[in-house]
Structure 1
Amino acid sequence: MRAVQGDEWEKVKELRIAALRDPAAPVAFLETLDQAEARPDEFWQDRAEGASHGRSARQFVAEAPDGQWVGSLTVLVEESGTTDFFERVVERTQGHVVGVFVRTEHRGAGVADALFTTALDWAWSLEGPTLERVRLFVHEDNPRAGAFYRRFGFRASGQVVPLAGAAAGDQGAKELEYVIARP
């Protein structure tokens, strides 16, 4: 488990495309395969660079012994007083987990647990100001993901938001917020 490096944009792109090809993608991601494949290389270069250092975002990957990336997740830092993805004012400084994916053949082997442990260790290590909690959103029709997050220690906050982004074609669908408090 490690953070991506700024020059690893091709692997960032390849893993995201693989994630969007997964059968669960429509209820797991707010982007379509067509959208991701249409993005220019500069987008992927900026994404990798932005998630490789600093405080605002960090992408973590699980790397197999042969160098293949088998899983990933990203933590975005939402500072108090800023506006979040849902265009609401953030009331507390917090982390926001997005883009969770583990390749099918590596599921059930502890990869997701290790990714979350690594990501949360990083989130809790941040100073000035510290993160009070980490949150994520789960599509209401994605019970497998919800069960994993609960097992890992996340709890439903009761916050429900309408589905946004590319998957919003499913009118009326909702995303459920799950949170884990700073230990």
Structure 2
Amino acid sequence: MEHVIRPVRADEWRKAREIRLAALQDPAAPLAFLDTYEAAAARPDAHWQERTAGASDGSDSARQFVAEAPDGAWAGTVTVRVERPGADIRFGEAPAVDQTHVIGVYVRPEERGAGLAEALFRAAVEWSWSLEGAPIQRVRLYVHERNARAEAFYRKAGFVPTGASLPVEGDDSGARELEYEVRRPVTV
């Protein structure tokens, strides 16, 4: 793999915006993301600057990783948010343990199958385990019940279903988002 997996930098907000908009145009976007291309494209530059800065500053709140090709193009991305007990969270129930939440998973179609998603997930999980303070006990994510391709990848990456689920926001069909997790390895 020629790509470098690294955290995003604050000054790269234009690239972060571009890859997010590309993700939202993917045919799987309605199953994979709670956002729409139209809503994201309408957001001002300040939104993207703040979002990228928040995922790059090295704080313990969030981190965005990118798969960067030798020519500087971004082939994929994943974001991880820290969720601590008692804190407000954006999706799902408040955690009982210190955890992170993987979101915004995307690899460009022409780059799929080259190991980039696996490398991005490794970076996200390793970052989660490395956080200072109370140790992260689990990394979680949600997957739409009809997104079989993503579900298969998450299982291959070591995530297992927890049995928890949520209704899909804005969907009257009764569709569910299924929670998956990987637990912190026990060290002896």
Q: Paired residue for 1:172?
A: 174
Structure 1 residue 87, shift from structure 2 partner: 6.1
Please identify runs of 4+ aligned residues in structure 1 that moved more than 3 A.
none
Q: Paired residue for 2:72?
A: 67
Distance 1:133 1:86 in 2: 16
CA contact (8 A) 2:100 2:139 kept: yes
Q: Paired residue for 2:183?
A: 181
TM-score norm. by structure 1 comes to 0.96
Give ranges in structure 1 of 5+ residues lacking alignment. none
Secondary structure of 2:10's partner?
A: coil
Q: Paired residue for 1:49?
A: 53
Letter in 1 for 2:112: R
Residues 26-50 of structure 1: CA deviation (Å, up to 9, x unaligned):
0000000000000000000001000
Q: Paired residue for 2:21?
A: 17
Distance 1:88 1:158 in 2: 13
Structure 1 residue 147, shift from structure 2 partner: 0.4
Q: Paired residue for 1:6?
A: 10
- 1:118 partnered with 2:123: yes
Q: Give the count of matched residue pairs.
A: 180
Distance 2:54 2:19 in 1: 17
Query: Which residue of 147, 153, 158 maps to 1:148?
Result: 153
Compared with structure 1, are the counterparts of its residues 23 and 44 closer, same or farther at alpha carbon in structure 2 (3 Å cutoff)? same
Percent identity over the alignment?
56
Compared with structure 1, are the counterparts of its residues 163 and 62 closer, same or farther at alpha carbon in structure 2 (3 Å cutoff)? same
Residues 140-159 of structure 1: CA deviation (Å, up to 9, x unaligned):
01010000000110000000
Secondary structure of 1:13's partner?
A: helix
Distance 2:163 2:93 in 1: 16
Letter in 2 for 1:178: Y
TM-score norm. by structure 2 comes to 0.93
Give ranges in structure 2 of 5+ residues lacking alignment. none
- 1:35 partnered with 2:39: yes
- 1:99 partnered with 2:104: yes
